Amino acid sequence: GAGVSQSPSNKVTEKGKDVELRCDPISGHTALYWYRQSLGQGLEFLIYFQGNSAPDKSGLPSDRFSAERTGGSVSTLTIQRTQQEDSAVYLCASSLRLAGGQEQYFGPGTRLTVT
């Protein structure tokens, strides 16, 4: 079956512009996660959604970052007024449910470059 898909695969934007990154999780997966992978920082958690519960936004680095998940499926991560330090690969993952032993399935990522 289809895996997690993300779009665009690459995004170059000018400093100060807003960007939207999209994630389409595996059908039937109720938990969806966003991570950021940057050189020297490894993988850091940003936000997750579980079903209809309020998202856990504790990893968002600033109020310029926000995310929503519509209809319990597709999610959009929005970065407003982008800065050069936002350049990274943004990864989306989904799992069947939010539980400790669940495998998370990752998408290919969106590489964001802020010039």
Partner 1 sequence: GNSVTQMEGPVTLSEEAFLTINCTYTATGYPSLFWYVQYPGEGLQLLLKATKADDKGSNKGFEATYRKETTSFHLEKGSVQVSDSAVYFCALSDYSGNTPLVFGKGTRLSVIA
Pick 69 or 82: Cβ nearer partner 1? 69
Interface residues toward partner 1, by CB under 8 A: 33, 35, 41-45, 48, 56, 59, 91, 93, 97-109
Minimum Å distance from CB 89 to partner 1?
10
| Residue placing its CB nearer to partner 1 in the complex, 82 or 94 | 94
Distance of closest approach, residue 39 Cβ to partner 1, in angstroms: 10
Dist. CA 80–CA 82, nearest whole Å: 5
